[in-house]
Structure 1
């Protein structure tokens, strides 16, 4: 049964992956057609075609390897300065440039002269290229916020999980009390595990983050903690002390290894699945975006540990980069967890949403052959054309993005090597969930 559920989870994730890719390419396709660019092909996947159908001027299909997708637009690169498309040099770099240029014109038909992508204004090209990643962003936001607002997420609550017996500075990293340790204010007040804190000094508290801020902002003060216990409401009075605690991240969590002095009550909040309000969901979505950007920036620094996990004896870190194979494996494990079905569905949706958020951020890198590279080229063209107009100089014409193809090949090579490294790590030393 476990194997069957594992396979089912992998299949569900792959379906979500294919939909995400198709959704991405649909963004490019719809905007290209809106601006009159001819699109001969719309494909999900790479490799041999396993199904296709032509509708109008576009062939729609699915290929065998679900690791990406593409649409083929004619005239992505402008002709060379002399208007010719064929290679004019034996230089390998020049060959790369002219091969790319020729490929963008290989399906040119009579009447297509005004339907070439490079002939569109830069702002239209920006929209065409941005539409794909933007579709992934929309999908990620809708899924994340939909799950958070309807199902909820695992988070710390205002219910007491455990009461501390004494006051210990966080940096001491010990749990046992010494005879000289002062009793924790929560213990002295009679706070018990299972109590639900509903108010602080008469002001209702809605979540753990707000309660944590209230406690920390009142060192050395007498306070009243209102709790619900066994269906009754009780007011507990205590004196908050000033103690060394872990620095808050502003959302109820902690910054590892950093400490501050603040008000201290002395209890551990219980965790549970809590529905989020629209505002809370927006805040958490912003945090996810920020963390995603930070993770993308930190990606090169994780390569040594990833190499050690793949080819050495190093552990696979929880925040280690993970590829499609690893994500599919996690998707399979989700369906084998001994948790309610609705939790499994929520986790799978979060996995798919996280994949879409990563697609958005990754594709926005200003590097060819990514969408961000084409966007950067169009913006640069717009800038220099406007500068020329201001200084009444001749129009410099389209920016020849094809000249950057050698760089694109180098970038693609790096991406391929990194993908292979992640693939090996995902197979021999995968990230696991509990």
Structure 2
């Protein structure tokens, strides 16, 4: 299959995954709303003109032309005007007009039999359940995909099979021509070890993992030890003498550690000159939650620092500065990364599919975390409004005051529009950056 076709298939795979994730996010709102008897008039994937729809019961289900989200329409999202009990306020100011229009839209389909089926009359805890249903659905999808990734495909793990044997002993940061007189053979090359040899014992001890073997090699500098490998099904035993060599200190993140002043750290340890082959090794169920938690933690860190991250993307997009590969990207950027992964013919197909599954898992966690930001029109904004309503009612009850009723979240619509404009601007900026200066796996 050609790299171009593989690239397209990778993009399509992730595009379908995102569409399904959005659809299920809205199902997360739809199901509890119907469970609590709120009348749901529309369940739509996308925005803009309707491409196709069908009415089932009291709800219209369909697809719209712009596939950049979705929505569920529930009647009575905002309470009537407190002053006169209508959906229109007595004042005609700009902000009041915005709230008035929202109330009119929220109540235009409310009929005589719908008095107790409007959203604003729900108890606070039910409102929170409805609004958290979407992010919770994305969390469950991310968790399920993480389980598939870890338990089904597995994680890339170093095996006890040799991938490569270095010919020359080279100091850190230097290069040596393997055919020159300056090339001193590594202990592995001198002992005749070959790629695809499976190491079964070292210094008389059975080898069960690469990490275990690495530890023994590092502590065996300048000492001759026996090593047994399986080559083409036949055991071969020889001796090696690891040499003392400066090797990079690797941190918990898998990168070379640095000192306080930014200098790369090295340590003198035993060295053979071999590298390990990697293979996907299925992991136990106990690894799923920790992996998901770590993924969510990293995403939350990006969201918390989102303004600074987006500013960095803007600076890179309109200058010669390099772009941060760990910064935010748009759906265009995600599609490009997915295409690059799928087109990597040198990587086994199983590993490529596993990477795409992991990408979708991360996207669902990102959708969940982003929607929990306590600003309208995001789900977190509605949750914050419900929590404020509950707190206000508790305070009124504590001091013997009349119940203030449902919080009129329509009053926050001016803020909502500002946030919506900012989100659209951020989306447009990220798409532009992903076109002119994309994040690439080769960066």
The 1:264–1:195 alpha-carbon spacing in structure 2 relative to 1, beyond 3 Å, is farther
CA distance in 2, matches of 1:217, 1:116: 69
**Any conservation in 2 of the 1:153–1:274 contact (CA below 8 Å)?**
yes
CA distance in 1, matches of 2:160, 2:439: 31
- 1:282 aligned to 2:289? yes
Residue 99 of structure 2 corresponds to 97
Residue 179 of structure 2 corresponds to none
Equivalent residue for 2:138, pick from 136, 141, 147? 136
CA distance in 2, matches of 1:275, 1:132: 33
Question: SS of the counterpart of 1:9?
Answer: helix
Residue 246 of structure 1 corresponds to 249
CA offsets, 1:195-246, max 9 Å, x none?
76778996975574x877x7799899x9x99875546497999999998953
Question: SS of the counterpart of 2:258?
Answer: strand
Bigger Rg, which one: 2
Deviation at 1:108, TM superposition (A): 1.3
Residue 402 of structure 1 corresponds to 410
Question: SS of the counterpart of 1:354?
Answer: helix
**Any conservation in 1 of the 2:250–2:256 contact (CA below 8 Å)?**
yes
Deviation at 1:370, TM superposition (A): 0.4
Equivalent residue for 2:302, pick from 286, 295, 312? 295
CA distance in 2, matches of 1:422, 1:110: 47
Question: SS of the counterpart of 2:156?
Answer: strand
CA distance in 2, matches of 1:2, 1:189: 40
The 1:175–1:141 alpha-carbon spacing in structure 2 relative to 1, beyond 3 Å, is farther
Equivalent residue for 1:351, pick from 351, 359, 370? 359
Question: SS of the counterpart of 1:329?
Answer: helix
**Any conservation in 2 of the 1:154–1:271 contact (CA below 8 Å)?**
no
| Total equivalences in the alignment | 423
Deviation at 1:347, TM superposition (A): 2.7
Deviation at 1:27, TM superposition (A): 0.8
1:375-390 matched pairs, under 5 angstroms: 375-390=383-398
Task: Please report the TM-score for the alignment, with normalisation by the length of structure 2.
Answer: 0.80
Deviation at 1:11, TM superposition (A): 2.7
CA distance in 1, matches of 2:220, 2:24: 52
**Any conservation in 1 of the 2:150–2:282 contact (CA below 8 Å)?**
yes
The 1:192–1:2 alpha-carbon spacing in structure 2 relative to 1, beyond 3 Å, is closer
CA distance in 1, matches of 2:384, 2:219: 50
1:261-276 matched pairs, under 5 angstroms: 264-266=269-271, 270=276, 272-276=278-282
Residue 15 of structure 1 corresponds to 16
Question: SS of the counterpart of 2:112?
Answer: coil
**Any conservation in 1 of the 2:80–2:88 contact (CA below 8 Å)?**
no
Higher mean alpha-carbon deviation, 424-433 vs 389-398, is at: 389-398
Residue 74 of structure 1 corresponds to 75
The 1:120–1:245 alpha-carbon spacing in structure 2 relative to 1, beyond 3 Å, is same
**Any conservation in 1 of the 2:251–2:257 contact (CA below 8 Å)?**
no
CA distance in 2, matches of 1:225, 1:382: 72
Alignment root-mean-square deviation, CA? 3.9
Structure 1: runs of 5+ lacking an equivalent: 177-182
CA distance in 1, matches of 2:226, 2:127: 59
CA distance in 2, matches of 1:275, 1:144: 14
Question: SS of the counterpart of 1:129?
Answer: helix
**Any conservation in 2 of the 1:248–1:255 contact (CA below 8 Å)?**
yes
- 1:335 aligned to 2:342? yes
Question: SS of the counterpart of 1:248?
Answer: coil
Structure 2: runs of 5+ lacking an equivalent: 177-184
Question: SS of the counterpart of 1:254?
Answer: coil
Question: SS of the counterpart of 2:322?
Answer: coil
Residue 423 of structure 2 corresponds to 415
The 1:352–1:236 alpha-carbon spacing in structure 2 relative to 1, beyond 3 Å, is same
Question: SS of the counterpart of 2:99?
Answer: helix
Question: SS of the counterpart of 2:334?
Answer: helix
Higher mean alpha-carbon deviation, 124-133 vs 381-390, is at: 381-390
Residue 108 of structure 1 corresponds to 110
CA distance in 2, matches of 1:236, 1:284: 40
Task: Please report the TM-score for the alignment, with normalisation by the length of structure 1.
Answer: 0.81
Deviation at 1:52, TM superposition (A): 0.2
**Any conservation in 2 of the 1:198–1:206 contact (CA below 8 Å)?**
no
